[in-house]
Amino acid sequence: MQPTTYILASKPQGTLYIGVTRNLKKRIYEHKHHFVEGFTKRYQVTELVYFETYSDMYSAITREKQLKNWRREWKINLIEKVNPNWDDLYLSI
């Protein structure tokens, strides 16, 4: 288990959600199966399109807050730099 900041999308260039977790695989599973009430369930935001891991939770939370304050265009550029096809990265973790 490693602190991770992640971005989910509803589809390529779709609705985005930024979160932080200690257990990425478990958390994304919860989003995909709608165990999490709220934004991701309401807007069907379930595709893991980007993530970054950190050595401590403080750094992961700091990055989450930073990304949430970014313009949408910057977030899309960040995703497309490492995942140009907007593939669901869930199977690779």
- Give the tens place of pLDDT for each residue, 46-69: 999 999 999 999 999 999 999 999
* pLDDT at position 36: 82
Q: Which of 17, 13, 27 is nearest to 93 (CA)?
A: 27
CA atoms of 49 and 89, how far apart (whole Å): 6
Question: What are the boundaries of each domain within the chain?
Answer: 4-92
Q: Could you name the CATH architecture of 4-92?
A: 3-Layer(aba) Sandwich (3.40)
Residue 83 has a pLDDT of 98
pLDDT < 50 positions in the chain: none
Please tell me the predicted confidence (pLDDT) of residue 41.
94
In the chain, DSSP finds a helix count (H) and a strand count (E) of 4, 3
- Would you state the pLDDT for residue 23? 97
Could you tell me how far CA 57 lies from the centroid of its own chain? 15
* Measured distance CA(49)–CA(87) in Å, rounded: 6
Q: What is the pLDDT of residue 1?
A: 81
